[in-house]
Structure formats: C-alpha cells, structure tokens
Amino acid sequence: MSFVTTKDGTEIFYKDWGKGQALFFHHGWPLSADDWDSQMMFFLAQGFRVIAHDRRGHGRSTQTADGHDMDTYAADAEAVVQALGLKDAIHIGHSTGGGEVARYVARYGKGKVSKAVLISAIPPTFMQSDRNPNGVPKAVVDSIRDGTAYHRSQFYQDITIPFYGFNRPGAVVSEGIRQNWWRQGMMGAAIAHWECVRVLSETEFYDDLAVIECPVLVMHGEDDQICPFPTTGAVSWKLLKHGSLKSYPGLPHGMPTTHADTINADLLAFFRS
C-alpha cells in the first residue's frame, strides 16, 4: 500500500491509478478513499488519473488522536500532492471533504488547482450559530459525537438510513451500500472520528470561499438530511468568485453513491468544460 508521511509522523494512505489529468478526491466523515470507488473506476475509464487519500485517523491512515483541525487536514492533502508532483489537478470533495477542498484550494491551490467541486459539502458552515442561525442545532451535533464515542457500531448502522435517503417513501434500500459505509467507518479510530465531528461542525469557510480563484462547481441534493441544502450548498456557491450551482431535487447526502451515473456525468461535463 502507498503512504505519505507528514511532518508530525502521521502516515496518510492514498490510491493513485492511471495517467492523464489528475482528479484528487477528498472523502467525507467518517469514511475513506473507498467511498469514491464509483467515481474512480468511472473516471479511470475516461482517461483521467484518479487519486484519493484516507484522512488522518480514517481508513488505513495512522489512527492518531492529534492534528484534527481543518488546517492540518489540508496540509495532509498537500503532502500527498507534493509527493505525487501534481500540477493542474481538479479537487473534488464530498461532505467534510468539501470543507477540506475549500481550505486546501484557498491555502495551497494557486497554480496547482485548475478546478474544484464541492458535493453535498459542509461550507460555508454546518452548525447553528449567530452567523448561521438556521444551521444544524448543537444538540444534534452533540448526539453525533456521543454516538461516535460510545455507540459507534450501532450508530454507524443507523446513520446510513438518512445519509442515503433510505427513509424516504419509495426508496430502495441497498444493504450492500449500508454495510460498506459501516465497514469504512469502523476501519478508522473512534477518537479521530469524534474529533472530526467537532471540526466539520465548527469550522467556518466564508473566507476560504471568498479567495478561491479557480472555477468551482457546487453540487447538492435538495433532500440532503445531513448537510441541509438551504444553509450549505445554496449559500456557498454565491460566496465564490467563479462559482456555479447544480442542485438535485429529491437526492440525498450520499448521492455520489446512490446516483453515481447522474453525478459522474455532470462531473465529466464540468471537467471537460
């Protein structure tokens, strides 16, 4: 397996397949690079080089209790970018990974990133606050942290239902998708996932979005039960200098998996535009 060692000694696992223009995928909490398999296989067949890493404490990366803040997550991604010598890459992030992309492109993207995509992403901010009065209530965030710390196995089973919209009328529940989510989650460290909930819920990205120079596509399901569209995607694209929005009526938070054909086709059109 391939790893990059960061300055603090954390080993970051990554996948790197194919040749051509590089697509760098950033996964959501509490998953891993494996969550992008449907995209990586599709875009590999389209002639792209596809790369995805496991965030520190997630998947196969070091199960460290330290470095859980968005600046460090972005620096870890930059360590992989530097190790692979990437130039003119496109960065795509889902959920928490969308926040990671926003911070990464704002900090490190000049001259390295040609485009970016935020899918079902947490920016501009996730939790309810004075600046985001309609955000997710702190009590809900606290319940996620409690479930992660003390009831993780069952909690990770339960959260897949709203994550993929499987609680909606007429939804076809895929046990394979649910089990794969649980498998990825249980690979990582409980402490890292617990800390990551704090990071994803409390970090603000207003300043990051404002300074990004490259074109950014915001993709968001209008029935997202995890990152509600009205306070995330519907707001963030307007804060970008070169932002565009593609919203999807009825689609869930996990739409890159449940509706991979639709999402992949729209990503391909953006990459080639």
Residue ranges of the chain with pLDDT lower than 50?
none
**Active-site residue among 68, 91, 253, 259?**
253
User: Which pLDDT value is given to residue 27?
Assistant: 98
Taking the C-alpha atoms of residue 126 and residue 170, their distance in angstroms, rounded to an integer, is 28
CATH 3.40.1280.10 fits 2-272, yes or no: no
pTM: 0.98
Please name every residue paired with 116 in a beta bridge, in sequence order, or none if there are none.
Answer: 91, 216
Residues 6+ apart with CB under 8 A from 151: none
**Active-site residue among 76, 224, 236, 259?**
224
| 253 labelled catalytic | yes
User: Which pLDDT value is given to residue 168?
Assistant: 98
Expressed in percent and rounded to 5, the helix, strand and coil fractions of the chain are 45, 20, 35
Mean pLDDT of all residues belonging to the chain: 98
The pLDDT tens digits of the residues spanning 69-116 come to: 999 999 999 999 999 999 999 999 999 999 999 999 999 999 999 999
The pLDDT tens digits of the residues spanning 120-147 come to: 999 999 999 999 999 999 999 999 999 9
Burial class (CB in 10 A: 0-12, 13-18, 19+), 2: middle
Q: Between β-strands 113-119 and 216-221, what pairing exists: parallel, antiparallel or unpaired?
A: parallel
User: Which pLDDT value is given to residue 1?
Assistant: 78
| 34 labelled catalytic | no
User: Which pLDDT value is given to residue 163?
Assistant: 98
User: Which pLDDT value is given to residue 41?
Assistant: 98
- Looking at the chain, which runs of residues are DSSP E strands? 2-5, 11-17, 22-26, 49-53, 89-94, 113-119, 216-221, 243-248
User: Which pLDDT value is given to residue 61?
Assistant: 98
Give the CB-side neighbour count of residue 142, counting CA atoms within 13 A. 4
**Active-site residue among 95, 120, 201, 236?**
95
